């Protein structure tokens, strides 16, 4: 089964086969699936609307109304690319084949109970008539249209636990690592060089959330300026965020300088704890400006 989306219509192409009965409403259903786990404030919740069929040929699916919250609001919503991978599940002793028709990921800044509702779809189902053929010998196909609404689905969002100190926490929830790299070579005394601080991991990093880097530029290094870039992408159905700080520095030591540890604080929902990660110190071999001079033959 191959899927393509054209102008908001999901087209599902299947091989034609004969079925003994044609009761699309009984054989097709929609379910809303979220992971069976504990969710926290600011954590991202993946939601997938699945279409399940126990034998019907599904031709097209059109959205009548989008799925949303019956009350309250999302703090963020991101459409998640679907891999289109089919799954098989058993409901009531019957095996159904499921195909994702819409995936997104949401977060909530308030701890509360939320209800997803709406999400109505019009589905065209086909069934070839084993006893009917047209003039050219092609099997005649019957068409049936049904409207299905996604069932109401509850999401429980728990409050973040109270930390001993929130001085370093500014809203990042997920699992992250921090690293420091020197981008300029050679690094010359009293001349500009670039140091890149990278925070990367699963989850989202709020705009106001930055690593603690100020104390890292002290030993033989002067921080001149900082520029920031952020990038989000999907990997294995998960949201990955990369935060980079391009730091322009000027070495003030003539031999060796050091970039100290950079710290990043976040809440890890898998452990239910606040964590702090740090980069390793980076020792810089500072060159004299004579490194640029050409050799003189004597």
Span 173-190, pLDDT tens digits: 999 999 999 987 789 998
Pair 105, 200 in one domain: no
Asked if residue 168 belongs to a domain, the reply is no
pTM of the model: 0.76
Pair 39, 186 in one domain: no
The string of pLDDT tens digits covering residues 202-222 is: 998 988 899 999 899 988 999
Asked if residue 227 belongs to a domain, the reply is yes
Pair 133, 194 in one domain: no
Containing structural domain, residue 31:
2-158
Pair 107, 186 in one domain: no
Which residue, 158, 181, 196, sits at the end of a domain? 158
Asked if residue 130 belongs to a domain, the reply is yes
Q: What is the CATH number of the domain that holds 13?
A: 2.60.40
Which residue, 124, 158, 192, sits at the end of a domain? 158
pLDDT at residue number 5: 33
Task: Supply angle C-alpha 44, 50, 53, rounded to 5.
Answer: 165
Pair 108, 255 in one domain: no
Pair 150, 180 in one domain: no
Pair 110, 153 in one domain: yes
Asked if residue 163 belongs to a domain, the reply is no
Name which of 13, 184, 146, 128 is nearest 5 in CA terms. 13
Pair 26, 143 in one domain: yes
Pair 269, 177 in one domain: yes
How many distinct structural domains can be found in the chain?
2
Which residue, 104, 129, 158, sits at the end of a domain? 158
Pair 180, 151 in one domain: no
Q: What is the dihedral of CA 11, 17, 23, 26, to 10 degrees?
A: -70
The string of pLDDT tens digits covering residues 141-173 is: 778 888 999 999 999 999 999 876 655 577 899
pLDDT, tens digit only, all 298 positions of the chain: 233 332 333 433 332 222 223 345 568 889 999 999 999 999 999 999 999 988 777 778 889 999 999 989 999 999 988 777 789 999 889 999 998 989 999 999 999 999 999 999 999 887 777 777 766 777 677 788 889 999 999 999 999 998 766 555 778 999 999 999 998 778 999 899 999 999 999 998 988 899 999 899 988 999 999 999 999 998 887 899 999 999 999 998 888 889 999 999 999 999 999 999 999 999 998 988 765 555 445 4
Q: What is the CATH number of the domain that holds 208?
A: 2.60.40.740
Asked if residue 166 belongs to a domain, the reply is no
**H, E, C per residue of the chain:** CEEEEECCEEEEECCCCCCCCCCHHHHEEEEEECCCCCEECCCCEEEEEEEEECCCEEEEEEEEEEEEECCCCCCEEEECCCCCCCEEEEECCEEEEEEEEEEEEEECCCCEEEEEEEEEEEEEEEEEEEEEECCCCCEEEEEEEEEEECCCEEEEEECCCCCCCCCCCCCCEEEEEEEEEECCCCEECCCCEEEEEEEEEEEECCCCCCCECHHHECCCEEEEEEEEEEEEEEECCEEEEEEEEEEEEEECCCCEEEECCCEEEEEECCCCEEEEEECCCEEEEEECHHHHCCCCCC
């Amino acid at each position: 089964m191959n899927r393509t989306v054209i102008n908001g219509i999901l087209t599902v192409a299947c091989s034609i086969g004969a079925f003994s009965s044609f009761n699309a409403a009984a054989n097709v259903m929609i379910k809303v699936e979220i992971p069976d786990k504990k969710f926290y404030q600011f954590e991202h919740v993946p939601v997938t609307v699945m279409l399940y069929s126990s034998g019907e040929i599904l031709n097209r699916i059109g959205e009548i109304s989008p799925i949303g919250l019956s009350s309250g609001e999302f703090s963020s919503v991101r459409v998640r690319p679907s891999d289109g991978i089919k799954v098989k599940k058993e409901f009531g002793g019957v095996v159904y084949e499921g195909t994702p028709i819409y995936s997104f990921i949401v977060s909530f800044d308030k701890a509360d109970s939320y209800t997803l509702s709406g999400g109505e779809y019009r589905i065209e189902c086909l069934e070839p008539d084993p006893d009917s053929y047209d003039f050219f010998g092609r099997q005649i196909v019957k068409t049936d249209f049904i409207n299905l609404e996604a069932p109401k689905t509850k999401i429980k969002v728990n409050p973040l636990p109270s930390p001993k100190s929130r001085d370093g926490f500014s809203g990042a929830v997920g699992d992250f690592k921090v690293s420091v790299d020197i981008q300029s070579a050679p690094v010359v005394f009293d001349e500009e060089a670039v140091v890149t601080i990278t925070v990367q991991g699963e989850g989202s990093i709020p705009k106001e959330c930055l690593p603690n880097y100020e104390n890292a530029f002290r030993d033989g290094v002067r921080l001149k300026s900082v520029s920031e870039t952020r990038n989000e992408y999907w990997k294995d159905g998960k949201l990955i965020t990369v935060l980079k700080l391009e730091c322009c520095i000027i070495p003030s030591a003539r031999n060796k300088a050091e970039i100290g540890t950079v710290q990043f604080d976040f809440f890890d929902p898998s452990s239910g704890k606040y964590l702090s990660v740090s980069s390793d110190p980076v020792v810089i071999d500072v060159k004299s400006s004579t490194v640029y001079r050409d050799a003189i033959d004597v």
